[in-house]
Amino acid sequence: MEGALSRVCNLSSFSCSNLSLCEKSRSHFTKPPLMADLLFIRAVNYAERHKSSSRPSKFSKRPREPNSGGSPRRKEATGFSNIEYIDYLGPIDTPNKTHVLNSEVSPHRAVSAVRLMRIEQGGAFADLLNEKGKGSGDNEMAYVERTLGFRTRDLDDRDLRLVTDIVGGAIRWRRYLDHLILSLCHDESTFSHMEPLLMQILRIGFYEIVKLDMPPYAVVDENVKLAKVALRPGAGNMVNGILRKLVLLKEKNSLSLPKIEGDDRAQARALATLYSHPVWMVRRWTKHLGQEEAVRLMMWNNSDPRFSLRANKGKGFTRADLVMRLEMLKVPYELSSHLDDFVRIRTGMQASVAYMQDLIQVKLWKQVEILLTQLMVFALRSNIEIVIQAGLLKEGLCSVQDESAGLVVSIVDPQPGETIIDCCAAPGGKTLFMASRLCGRGMVSAIDINKGRLRILKETAKLLQVDDVVNTVHADLRTFADKNLVKSDKVLLDAPCSGLGVLSKRADLRWNRRLEDMEQLKNLQDELLDAASTLVKPGGILVYSTCSIDSEENEERVAAFLLRHPEFCVGPVDGYVPHDFVTEHGFYFSYPVKHCLDGSFAARLVRSL
């Protein structure tokens, strides 16, 4: 029983320990969207945000060079839009394959493999559900057919849940999985020159066996079959040999994993592999937080993301109405203790782990065994998926929004009749929440450089029935500020940042950030702060916020701004957010491990009269 419980904790990706932590403590640089938005992007009309910019008709096979940590070497980037992690992108050439329906290959594994390849090419991350939650969409199957040379059946609800888990998990644990794959290859050259699709199939198999604890015989058989059909018989034989080696080592508890020993650099490399993060992040967090807290943070980033829903009062839909609908749908929820409009929901996995803990306390072992079996075969539905299928998002009755973002709006404190500017506004979650708090009087001007995302924001405002108080402006904030003479009561600058506070919901983001990016980001944040400050009335409020937990993007940017702009001073956020979120300097800060929310920061700056 203890071994089974251990497996379920692995299966739930830190859910058990994460719950206990909460109980104890309770390409340009655009803002990274929350994973909740990304997972259910079409339901809230965010699909255009991550469209792939390049869709090659053929894959070019490029060699890959392993680094000391066992992960592929990151390709040097020449600009913000050219940041890559893997140096072996592109589909395989399949000119002789007949594009027919293949019913033998596991459809969710085929879709997962192709999606993982698309993500490494800069394509959409985890856009898995359409509005009805059925199938994977014609576009998805077109990618599968073009890449693999055959079609699979459409995905059912269970397949979609598996794709969601496998894609997110394989990306989160990529460095860890690559280390294991390299250790079981014949030599480094085999790993370095492995075909892209073959690498993805192995990652899927390793993730299923090591992290999901799925039945090894089924995992081996299905992934071998996929490799043989999509590539060639020899590739299937290679997958068979490597996966069988993995199964034997796992059964003997003899996986080749690095030890945390040696100097600081060596320990950082080991931790980066064990917890699957870039070395530079590990070194940065270890330096500022200490090793133990850095490990806690990485465990959070690798855990199942948590979601919150905001009831849309613009449509007269209150939190009480939302709760009633959730109860009708039998979706477990918790009322937010921080925000009146918000409700926390759990994924099916998290709710089941919590329920299992209750069963263990009263020693109902039979029920525990039954629940374990359900977990192992993925019989549980995602509760957020139930919300989507019920049409709550599509009808505009509620929105997926983290409480940390809602607390930033509380710091802005929109009041009816005020004029507010939301700089860098898209995708618009804070814009729409501020608009709902104006009660039909006042105006929120949403400025963004991305015209397509602004169009989506405008459509969403209409859906939520707050379009009468939302005005969209397509412009670069710096140019707009130079030409604009009108001042506003309040200005929110939710600045482009590293997104280090939302790595739990953006599994791919950790691989798309480099240490060198931080300096460029700081310069951009300073420029945007200077521009935003010119839009504030005397006596008005400027709120600077990020979804980062890094002090260089947060407190240090505010300190530098105040030196350049003595006409501003810090206005304490006490009274706008709970005291637990207020720092010693009067700023707002949500820390994932402590608050069980996305990491975020905000400063309320007051302009003198």
Within 10 A of 213 (CB to CB), how many other CB atoms are there?
A: 17
Within 10 A of 493 (CB to CB), how many other CB atoms are there?
A: 27
Please name the residues in contact with 471: beta carbons below 8 A apart, sequence gap of 6 or more: 443, 444, 445, 446
Whether residue 222 contacts residue 109, with contact meaning beta carbons closer than 8 Å, is answered with yes
Q: Out of 398, 497, 547, 596, which one is annotated catalytic?
A: 547
Is 429 a known ligand-binding residue? yes
Q: How far, in Å, CA of 513 to CA of 85, rounded?
A: 9
Which of these, 597, 487, 497, lies nearest to 545 by C-alpha position? 497
Is 413 a known ligand-binding residue? no
Is 422 a known ligand-binding residue? no
Q: How far, in Å, CA of 388 to CA of 394, rounded?
A: 7
Token output for 325: 């609908």
Which of these, 68, 86, 69, lies nearest to 77 by C-alpha position? 86
**Positions of E strands within 506-567:** 536-546
- Nearest 5°: phi and psi at 201? -65, -40
Is 123 a known ligand-binding residue? no
Kindly report the CA angle at 399 between 507 and 31, in degrees rounded to 5? Answer: 45
Whether 547 is catalytic = yes
Is 424 a known ligand-binding residue? yes
The terminus-to-terminus CA distance of the chain in angstroms comes to 68
Distance of CA 578 to the CA centre of its chain: 26
As beta bridge partners, residue 471 has: 445
For residue 215, whether the previous peptide bond is cis, meaning omega lies within 30 degrees of 0, is no
In the three-class reduction of DSSP (H, G, I as helix; E, B as strand; rest coil), residue 214 is classed as: coil
Is 494 a known ligand-binding residue? yes
Distance of CA 154 to the CA centre of its chain: 25
Counting Cα atoms < 13 Å in the Cβ hemisphere of 602 gives: 31
Torsion sign across C-alpha atoms 309, 310, 316, 321 = positive
Is 476 a known ligand-binding residue? yes
Angle at which helix 196-206 crosses helix 157-172, to 10 degrees, equals: 100
Which helix (H) or strand (E) covers residue 334, if one does? Answer: strand 333-335
In this structure, the chain runs to a length of: 609
Whether residue 301 contacts residue 513, with contact meaning beta carbons closer than 8 Å, is answered with no
Mode of pairing for the β-strands spanning 568-571 and 536-546:
unpaired
Is 428 a known ligand-binding residue? yes
Write out the binding residues for S-adenosyl-L-methionine.
424-430, 448, 476, 494
Give me the active site residues, please: 547
Write out the binding residues.
424-430, 448, 476, 494
